[in-house]
Structure 1
Amino acid sequence: MHTNQRLNVAVLGAGLIGLDLVQRVQQSPYLACRLVVGRDSRALGLRRAAELGCATSAGGAAALIDAGPFDVVFDASSAAAHHEHWAELSATGALLVDLTPSSIGTQVVPTVNGPDALTCRHINLISCGGQASIPLLHAIAQHCKAHYTELVTTVASPTAGRATRLNLDEYIDTTQNALRAFTGAETAKVLVNISPAEPPPPFRVSMTVLASGLDHRRVRAAVQAAAKKVQTSTPGFEITSCTVTEGKATVAAEVTAEGARLPRHAGNLHIINAAAVLLAEQRATSKAR
């Protein structure tokens, strides 16, 4: 830990996700944002980061290495760029928290396997859909033998930036792999809807589990308990339905965003950023012991 007892943090990427991360870090008693990095000096995001009082650079990961060392680096760029960033930053000793669907690094969902993050230097947060669904699906899978899991996510079009749209294939592949890993199901299917509706809809996830041994009381209790854990870092997380029939469970949830910079319909950004900051804070408090 540094003399101010806060971990030094850098953010790679100055889009909507990156700027929200900056604000969350500034509000944390355990973290200090020392640098925001992009690749275009004319980017509006870098100007806004500077207005928030952060040092900025358009020099990419190389500039981050020159300005270091950093304890934690949040990568809010793209899946393709993250592979390059890990290659460049792996030798620095920083904890690299990947908010892209790159599929490299240890996949972590804080309320499911958060303690794993304390010993890892490279964390992958899967996807916003993964963060919203896996706590519930994992909880269900503890009470049955899941054969098939399905996830349908609906995001408002204004929250799906260029990198998100370019990474849709990676998003689907990474989230499907994580669903299989965290539930034990042989088959997983992920579908994504980007809604142009006005007003923009909230972030929604709809899940289906086909399994033997489903008990409606156990499933509902497990889902509610898992949701309460998620709500400690994402208060806008809410179960909207939970139905269990013979061999099939369906669960739906919504996430509304909170904070000054994110609109309420940006729950997809809210939940993954909340997970990223929570893991960094856990690293900070573990070092302080």
Structure 2
Amino acid sequence: MAVEERRRVAVLGAGLIGVDLADKITRTPTLELALIAGRDRDSLGMRRAAEMGLPTTAGGVHAVVEAGPFDVVFDATNADSHAEHWASLRPTGATLIDLTPTALGTVIVPGVKTHYPATHRHLNLVSCGGQASIPVLHAIAQRCTPTYIEVVSTGASASAGRATRLNLDQYIATTSAAIRTFTGTRDVKVMVNISPARPAPPFRVAMTVLADGIRPAPVRTNIAAAADAVRAYAPGFKVTALTVEPGRISAVVEVTASGGRLPRHAGSVDIINAAAVLLAEQSAAVSRRREPRP
């Protein structure tokens, strides 16, 4: 039986997200991590990647282009740089999976859309808060018509790197827009808290939905199914509170990191990276189906 060729991938960015992403890639049988590209070889992330035995370069996106071609490139840098990265990588034919909150590319939430869109090569994962909240909100919107949605994400300060802090405005705008798209709700409010508490709290997303015509049993059934779908690739996802009453639904989810090198409180990193790896695996499966047989 022939061994299927693994898809060659690269990671742009050597922060907390990039290094954990690289670690996850090395543990999947369908992807081959060929490069992790940062900007500063002496940064903590680049040193950790090198200690893990990962192939590294300090050349950024230009080094990725030169080292290509790649089947998939993950952008784990910052929103301000992403447009330039796509412009550089688009001619190479790689699929670019964006983990920054840019609102560019095709928006994907695996907990809602489970099939890889074969015609798209520029994929956007919204934000960690979007990945945690949108499956639940979409499930609710299938059973009623929300008139107002409020989402409050709280993450540990230790899990929020420099790029995350710089991109908070884009995070809020991109998450709000994605929630509108997946629920059909115009009135959406998104807030973000970065908590310095010790011990570090788990990643937590609280959602409030105002709607008419709420039927508790179907809403609860849909939310449970959505949670199961997310846990298939992010096992630390859990609905910890749910109240369904006339005119109002309140739900809280928590995400803890499971396995790998992340501390348990870094669920925000774990869920978006798990979604990114899943998309890359689906991309590999689509590519294999489209390749001509010998």
TM range (shorter): over 0.9
Cα RMSD (Å): 1.1
Q: Are the equivalent residues in 2 in contact too, given 1:117–1:123 (CA < 8 A)?
A: no
Q: Determine the C-alpha separation between the residues in 2 that align with 1:114 and 1:60.
A: 31
| Structure 2 equivalent of residue 183 of structure 1 | 183
Are 1:221 and 2:191 an aligned pair? no
Are 1:253 and 2:288 an aligned pair? no
Aligned pairs for 1:195-274 (under 5 A) are: 195-274=195-274
TM-score by length of 1: 0.97
1:20-47 Cα deviation digits (max 9, x unpaired)? 1111110001001000101112112122
Q: Are the equivalent residues in 1 in contact too, given 2:207–2:251 (CA < 8 A)?
A: yes
Q: Determine the C-alpha separation between the residues in 2 that align with 1:193 and 1:140.
A: 24
Q: Are the equivalent residues in 2 in contact too, given 1:6–1:31 (CA < 8 A)?
A: yes
* Alpha-carbon shift at residue 179 of structure 1 (Å): 0.6
Are 1:152 and 2:152 an aligned pair? yes
Aligned pairs for 1:62-211 (under 5 A) are: 62-211=62-211
| Structure 2 equivalent of residue 34 of structure 1 | 34
* Alpha-carbon shift at residue 50 of structure 1 (Å): 2.1
Residue 214 of structure 1 aligns to a residue whose secondary structure is coil
* Alpha-carbon shift at residue 283 of structure 1 (Å): 1.2
Q: Determine the C-alpha separation between the residues in 2 that align with 1:107 and 1:5.
A: 28
Residue 229 of structure 2 aligns to a residue whose secondary structure is helix
1:236-264 Cα deviation digits (max 9, x unpaired)? 11111111111111110100001231000
TM-score by length of 2: 0.95
Q: Are the equivalent residues in 2 in contact too, given 1:207–1:251 (CA < 8 A)?
A: yes
* Alpha-carbon shift at residue 145 of structure 1 (Å): 1.1
Residue 117 of structure 1 aligns to a residue whose secondary structure is coil
Q: Are the equivalent residues in 2 in contact too, given 1:117–1:279 (CA < 8 A)?
A: no
* Alpha-carbon shift at residue 116 of structure 1 (Å): 4.7
Q: Are the equivalent residues in 2 in contact too, given 1:153–1:193 (CA < 8 A)?
A: yes
Which of structure 1's runs of 4+ aligned residues deviate more than 4 A? none
Q: Determine the C-alpha separation between the residues in 2 that align with 1:260 and 1:21.
A: 10
Q: How many residues align?
A: 287
* Alpha-carbon shift at residue 4 of structure 1 (Å): 5.6
Quick one: which amino acid aligns to residue 15 of structure 1? G
| Structure 2 equivalent of residue 281 of structure 1 | 281
| Structure 1 equivalent of residue 292 of structure 2 | none
| Structure 2 equivalent of residue 7 of structure 1 | 7
* Alpha-carbon shift at residue 186 of structure 1 (Å): 1.2
What runs of 5+ residues in structure 2 fail to find an aligned partner? 290-294
